[in-house]
Amino acid sequence: MQSTVRQRLPQTALRIAVVTETYPPEINGVARTVGLMVDALLARGHQVDLIRPRQSSDLGRTPARTLEGFTETLTIGLPIPKYPELQLGIARMQGLLKAWRRSRPDVVHLITEGPLGWCALRAARKLGIAVVSDFHTNFHDYSRHYGFGWIAGLVTGYLRALHTRTDQTFVPTHEMRDRLHALGFKDLSIVGRGIDTQLFSPQKRSAELRRSWQCENDTLVALYVGRLAAEKNLHLFVEAVRAARRSRPDLRVVIVGDGPMGKRLRAENPDFHFAGMRTGEDLAAYYASADLFVFPSLSETFGNVTMEALASGLAVVAFDYAAAREHIVHGHNGLVAAREDESAFCKQVLRLAGSKQDVHRLRQLARQTAERLSWGRVFDDLERSLLKFATPASDAATDCARAVAMD
């Protein structure tokens, strides 16, 4: 794996409480990012106390110190409606207060905004501990895809209330910062995302895997990687690749991922190859063995899969927002369509289906783009921010009055 950390001790080693409701081995972009972050902080000499809901893989085991400087606390977890593979964490504030009085963190880092995050925020404020947060998921946008569009305003208010009570909220893009600022969020700063260019690489292309898709050497393969769910706008993926097949009948379509729409998509598209969930080297081979990455989602805060596709040397078609806006220059290293312009999106897919030259050129430049985006730089920014906001125990008494007033 590409080095995402720098093996050094910082001038000040922090004790960081990381509070999250998703973590590896769960398979989603947030879990992968948090796993990399924890590894990087440990490698840089910090201590990490991870607090998360118990997963099915944890059943029957007791949390234990598995790495130097690392501890984890497992809480009760309740499945999220319409998202059963993820959980809301439930914790007693008195339990957190007791634990943090015994082993006080210098800073609490909230990854997710469920009940566990709120509980940790209140406990930290009572103890005068600095709190920072991440904004990873557009839950206020997701609500309209699950029949709860009428509560989008309430969800936005809930998220704003939590994040504005932290010392700083980290967002992955300039666009997201501006959008949240317009919604009344405060104290926003950008901590971007990186990509593991050793794991995700054109060198992982597999002739054997392509043969399993009935591909010849020059057969074009269109790929989607992600959750199979309404918020990913998958009707547009199907529409775009179906249109491309009318002009290029030998186009192969491969879908990696699973979710509530999986059964219906398989039934309606028996000619597509559905690979289910893939991770690690297996996932990297799927990326590298395709040619086009067609990503119609409009619900991303960033979209790690876009970066993975660029690193794998794929010609990417996406909407002009999130990771695509940050890193794709239209016509240079990928193709983008104006947000929600479905006709333009389909036209970009058709353009690539009809031009091997464009596909070849974009694939080369996509890889070059990804090679400049290291996780090391991202974690440098994060570490500086954590050091800035950390509250050593000696300073806690000064902050307690302010903290209690905010509670």
Does residue 310 lie in a domain region? yes
- For residue 5, what pLDDT band results from cuts at 50, 70 and 90? very low
Rounded to an integer, what distance in angstroms lies between the CA atom of residue 265 and that of residue 252? 16
Residue 275 confidence (pLDDT) above 80: yes
Across 144-228, where does the E strand assignment appear? 168-171, 188-190, 221-225
**Would you state the pLDDT for residue 240?**
98
**Would you state the pLDDT for residue 28?**
86
Does residue 7 lie in a domain region? no
- For residue 1, what pLDDT band results from cuts at 50, 70 and 90? very low
**Would you state the pLDDT for residue 395?**
53
Across 227-347, where does the E strand assignment appear? 252-256, 273-276, 292-295, 315-319, 335-337
Q: Is 273 within 8 Å of 242 (Cβ atoms)? A: no
**Would you state the pLDDT for residue 137?**
72
Preceding peptide of 84 cis, ω within 30°: no
**Would you state the pLDDT for residue 149?**
53
112 alpha-carbon distance from chain centroid: 11
- Residue located via tokens 């992982």: 204
Whether residues 190 and 258 fall in one domain: no
Q: Is 235 within 8 Å of 243 (Cβ atoms)? A: no
Burial per residue of 157-185, b for 16 or more beta-carbon CB atoms within 10 angstroms, e otherwise? eebbebbebbbbbbbbbebbbebbeeeeb
**Would you state the pLDDT for residue 59?**
61
How distant, in Å, are the alpha carbons of 196, 199, 273, 300 from that of 177? Answer: 24, 29, 37, 13
How distant, in Å, are the alpha carbons of 2, 229, 274, 297 from that of 263? Answer: 35, 11, 10, 19
Does residue 9 lie in a domain region? no
383 or 401: whose pLDDT is higher?
383
Does residue 333 lie in a domain region? yes
* Helix orientation angle between 29-43 and 375-389, rounded to the nearest 10 degrees: 70
Whether residues 105 and 135 fall in one domain: yes
Q: Is 321 within 8 Å of 309 (Cβ atoms)? A: no
3-state SS class at 166: coil
Q: Is 270 within 8 Å of 263 (Cβ atoms)? A: no
- Tokens for 74? 């497992």
3-state SS class at 51: strand
**Would you state the pLDDT for residue 79?**
74
Percent of the chain with pLDDT over 70: 86
Q: What is the DSSP letter of 59?
A: T
Mean local confidence (pLDDT), 348-371 = 96
Instruction: Indicate the helix (H) or strand (E) that contains 88.
Output: strand 83-90
Burial per residue of 12-35, b for 16 or more beta-carbon CB atoms within 10 angstroms, e otherwise? eebbbbbbbbbbbebbbbbbbbbb
Give the closest residue to 242 by CA, choosing from 225, 222, 260: 222
- Tokens for 129? 């501990």
Whether residues 169 and 260 fall in one domain: no
Domain of residue 320 covers 202-370
Mean pLDDT of the residues in the chain: 88
Number of domains in the chain: 2
Mean local confidence (pLDDT), 9-37 = 88
Whether residues 189 and 210 fall in one domain: no
Whether residues 366 and 283 fall in one domain: yes
Give per-residue pLDDT as tens, 128-177.
999 999 998 765 454 554 455 556 778 889 999 999 999 999 999 999 99
Whether residues 363 and 382 fall in one domain: no
Whether residues 225 and 100 fall in one domain: no
Q: What is the DSSP letter of 137?
A: B
Whether residues 256 and 294 fall in one domain: yes
- Residue located via tokens 């999250």: 20
Strands 70-80 and 83-90, by their bridges, are antiparallel
Whether residues 130 and 269 fall in one domain: no
Q: Which one of 82-96, 231-245, 389-403 scores highest in mean pLDDT?
A: 231-245
Give the closest residue to 313 by CA, choosing from 351, 271, 363: 363
Whether residues 114 and 178 fall in one domain: yes
Whether residues 153 and 238 fall in one domain: no
User: What's the chain's Rg over C-alpha atoms?
Assistant: 22
Domain CATH for 134: 3.40.50.2000
Would you call 262 exposed, middle or buried from its count of C-beta atoms within 10 A (0-12, 13-18, 19+)?
Answer: middle
Whether residues 158 and 223 fall in one domain: no
334 or 9: whose pLDDT is higher?
334
Dihedral of alpha carbons 315, 318, 323, 328, sign: positive
Would you call 320 exposed, middle or buried from its count of C-beta atoms within 10 A (0-12, 13-18, 19+)?
Answer: middle
Give per-residue pLDDT as tens, 62-107.
554 456 799 999 998 777 766 666 677 888 889 999 999 999 999 9
Give per-residue pLDDT as tens, 304-335.
999 999 999 999 999 999 999 999 999 999 99
* Beta-bridge partners for 89: 77
Q: What is the DSSP letter of 203?
A: G
Give the closest residue to 17 by CA, choosing from 45, 40, 46: 46
- Residue located via tokens 């924890």: 38
Does residue 10 lie in a domain region? no
Mean local confidence (pLDDT), 285-303 = 95
Does residue 4 lie in a domain region? no
Does residue 6 lie in a domain region? no
Does residue 52 lie in a domain region? yes
Residues 6 or more apart whose Cβ sits within 8 Å of residue 102: none
